[in-house]
Amino acid sequence: MSGSARFMSFIALIAVAIVVSGCTSNDPIFVDSGKAVDEAGALVILAQADASAFATRPTLDGPALRHNALAALRRKYPSGSGVADLLTRTFPSDTSGVPVYVERATYDGTPAIIVVEATGPGSGELSSKRLWVVGMDGTILFAGSR
């Protein structure tokens, strides 16, 4: 291989590395803030959470994607395992909502988990968002959608 061919191969490898490193993960974002949130604050979180990575995915893929998201919470974040366990106990395993943003907070003074999920109609795509505010005992404190 000539020097210029090696150089072009090297440039191509660098380009591939840049593209791959620029790809974003579909793992949920987890924030362990403990901050106080009320209904208005929860709705702001819903509005700001980005679920666009799932917008063209079929809703039927939701349960498998949800499983992957909960596994990522357990794997990536020190307190994510307890949060994933709470979500697993609270919601059916075959639900199609895929967590994209999870925050440990207090909701109207009650310790809670705020979850924004990518969701959609049964025969459609995960193009909508749903918000759950779940008390640490699994009680649904507030819910919304967008």
Q: What is the pLDDT of residues 69-116, one digit of tens each?
A: 999 999 999 889 999 999 999 998 889 999 999 999 999 999 999 999
Each residue's pLDDT tens digit, 22-59: 334 789 999 999 999 999 999 999 999 999 999 999 99
- Does a structural domain hold residue 68? yes
pTM for this model (two decimals): 0.81
- Does a structural domain hold residue 138? yes
**Tally of domains in the chain:** 1
Mean pLDDT across the chain, nearest whole number?
86
Q: How confident is the model at residue 122 (pLDDT cuts 50, 70, 90)?
A: confident
- Does a structural domain hold residue 52? yes
SS3 64: helix
- Does a structural domain hold residue 133? yes
- Does a structural domain hold residue 12? no
User: What tokens does 68 get?
Assistant: 């992957």
Strands (E), 1-146: 29-37, 98-107, 110-119, 128-135, 140-145
Cα distance between residue 132 and residue 98, in whole Å: 12
Going from the C-alpha of 65 to that of each of 85, 104, 107, the distances in angstroms are 16, 21, 27
- Please check the confidence at residue 138 and state whether its pLDDT lies above 60: yes
What residues pair up with 40 in beta bridges, in sequence order? none
Closest CA to 28 of 67, 86, 82: 67
- Does a structural domain hold residue 45? yes
Show the domain range for 58: 26-145
- Please check the confidence at residue 8 and state whether its pLDDT lies above 60: no
- Does a structural domain hold residue 81? yes
Cα distance between residue 74 and residue 81, in whole Å: 4
